Chain A
Amino acid sequence: MSDAQTLSAAEDRIAVASNWTLVWWRFRKHHLAMISAVVLICLYVVVLFPDFFSTQNPEQTDARQAFIPVQTLHFFDDGGLNPWVPVIVGKRNPVTLRMEWTVDPQRKVRVSFFTHGNSYRILGLFPTNIHLLGATDPGQRIFLLGSDRLGRDQWSRIMSGTQTSMTVGLVAVTLSVILGVVLGGISGYFGGILDHVIQRLIELLQSVPTIPIWLALSAALPRDWTPIQVFFAITVILSLIGWTTLAREVRGRFLALREEDFVLAANLAGCSRMRIILRHMVPTFLSHIIATSSLAIPVMIINETSLSFLGLGIRPPAISWGVLLQEAQNIQTLALAPWLLIPGLVVIVAVLAFNLVGDGLRDASDPYSH
């Protein structure tokens, strides 16, 4: 039988491929998901080093530089890499008394990489003042995505907002996953009374209308809490409501897996309960959990954005995408400064990317399905 057992090189590769390798092979074929994964990686790099990517201090205000439009970044000049942005000149309209900004393509503000700007701490630890981009002359400010009504640089604010919003999503989902897996696991594996109690709790939580509950919970947050405290409170609120779906899924998986032959085989081999759960059951649905979680993150991001937009979530001076969009709440500002909607675009891109990656993972997560 030896000749029938010799396999081709390609089959050999498949033969020793672990589950995760197979998942990766299938995920790789999903082009949109791959592109989205790259987008997400970029976003999370921003989450780690928002100050490095910002061009100036996102809090810095200057009433004289309010509502500056987008200054397009140009990379090439004089036949070489020599980045610059056009100078924008303001003239007060004598009738409306508003500042009106016009681009002067003749004059250029020189921009360079790795400039020294405002100081910050990398990951909150190492003090530095190096930024990826900045005006060569430290005295000048550049507004890559324009400025808001207080003259703050929107580009830098989006960098900070990305950090907050993406972290809220991730932390809230992580908390949900922990709650969901533990409670769902208990419910599914042990069954009985515990299962009953947990299932009824889930039904109760799912039947509660979410928006009023958020409103109530957020309104209950003390006004004098620091932005960090508010941030954590919001995250916890989001995850307390988000775990139920996941718990249901985990419970279902446990119930189905209890009947699997290989679980019975492990039982008969004399494996302990803990080993059966950790070695046989959890790895089997882990990929599903990851796929489900990556679909839950965008929901959390949207929730946070909506709450903050309504002024009930993260409050200024903290910056999140929702807080940024609050600036775009009134129609007059929108007509005057449409670039204030750019944070909305970022939200859309992030949410789409998460959804596409989640779909890709879900399709790839069960390589044994056929």
Chain B
Amino acid sequence: MTESPLLRVRDLRVSFKLDEGLVRAVDGVSFDVFPGQVVGIVGESGCGKSVTMKAILQLIEPPGRITSGEILYRQDAAQPSVDLAKLPTRGQAMRELRGADIALIPQEPMAAFSPVHTVGDQIVEAIMLHGRQRYGRPISRSDARGITVELFRDVGISMPEQRIEAYSWQLSGGLRQRAMIAMALSCKPRLLIADEPTTAIDVTTQAQILALLRELQRKYDTAIIFITHDLGVIAQMANYVVVMYLGRVMEEGPVDDIFHAPRHPYTQALLRSIPSMHGETRTALPIIKGTLPHPFNRPSGCPFHPRCDDIMPDRCTKAVPMLHSVAQQRAVSCFLHSDQAEPA
């Protein structure tokens, strides 16, 4: 890819100052999102994937704070990129980007829609708010309504004219998520952030939603950051995968490499430990020993070292490996692959 990335996250760090101590939720995350690319961020609870997403949208609430790093967003090729991390959280510039240029599909659409307004009204509202900027012309209420009906048809909601009059609680989980996608697409975003969009719904509905997202992505050529804990979903959705563990990127690379030639011991172990649909049954699965450490009790050195089978006792316990490029589009943070450590 020769074009420049839409979003460049560089050494992002977010910490939460709690009574019990400082939690470094995101601790040096870097990745790029190119136009039209689907970047999957995968990791277990506490890996910092959701906090990364909130940092990009500038939605970190106190006691959390972006302590360092850059989130460079390029609005279009002609303009220089802006560092979202430096923009005031509630400022005009950020509000114009959020919901318009960068849209979010949340995990629980029930919580994202207001129960006292119809879903249609909420989408119309969003279109009118960002309309002039996104559609290049003033948008009247009836225009916005027409766009909403069109969007509903696009996301596969049957009888869109009737459905825009519904309240979110009248819709089934699948329809609600479709309506949410329509809302996210309403302002023609350049970057879509999907935060576990299918975790709360059933498999058959999940398959429909994933297919829909793939189709819409191709149609509008939107870049997507897809956050999930489900390796299956990542394999089916992403072009490029970022594997996170305890606030750090373990490795990143094209989806095929991550699944077929994982380099980091964590990725390797994680892939081995999931029961497959055609392996041997009722046998012991290869496991990752131990448990996820408590956020207040981060291990020293490489965060994964207490659970790693390939641990080098003197090295991994003492220094934090740097995320180092090992090939084109491929980076790993492990001393097995590069001896470079983070500066202390």
Contacts and interface: CB of A to CB of B under 8 A. Distances in A.
Nearest to B292: A4
Contact of B294 (A1, A3, A11, A29): A11
B297 A3 contact: no
B297 A7 contact: yes
Interface in A165-197: none
Nearest to B18: A370
Contacts of B91: none
Interface in B277-308: 289-291, 293-294, 296-297, 306-307
A58 to B, nearest CB: 47
Interface in B298-331: 306-307
B290 A4 contact: yes
A290 to B, nearest CB: 23
Contacts, number: 18
B3 interface: no
Contacts of A11: 294, 296-297
Interface size class of B (residues with CB under 8 A): 10 to 19
A8 interface: yes
B19 interface: yes
Given A11-B294, A11-B297, A4 B19 contact: no
Contacts of B307: 4
B142 to A, nearest CB: 46
Nearest to A11: B297
Given A8-B297, A11-B294, A3 B306 contact: yes
Interface residues of A, number: 8
A4 B306 contact: yes
Contacts of A3: 290, 306
A3 B290 CA distance: 8
A4 B291 contact: yes
Interface string A1-35: 10111011001000000000000000001000000
B289 A1 contact: yes
A4 B287 CA distance: 14
A8 B290 CA distance: 16
**Of A4, A8, A29, which is in contact with the most chain B CB atoms at under 10 Å from its CB?**
A4
Contacts of A7: 297
B297 A4 contact: no
A7 B296 CA distance: 11
A4 B304 CA distance: 11
Interface in A17-62: 29
A1 B293 CA distance: 12
A11 B290 CA distance: 17
B45 to A, nearest CB: 14
Question: 3 tightest CB-CB pairs across the interface, nearest first?
Answer: A4-B290, A1-B290, A4-B291
Given A1-B289, A1-B291, A4-B291, 14 more contacts: A1-B290, A3-B290, A3-B306, A4-B289, A4-B290, A4-B293, A4-B306, A4-B307, A7-B297, A8-B297, A11-B294, A11-B296, A11-B297, A29-B19
18 contacts: A1-B289, A1-B290, A1-B291, A3-B290, A3-B306, A4-B289, A4-B290, A4-B291, A4-B293, A4-B306, A4-B307, A5-B291, A7-B297, A8-B297, A11-B294, A11-B296, A11-B297, A29-B19
Interface of A: 1, 3-5, 7-8, 11, 29
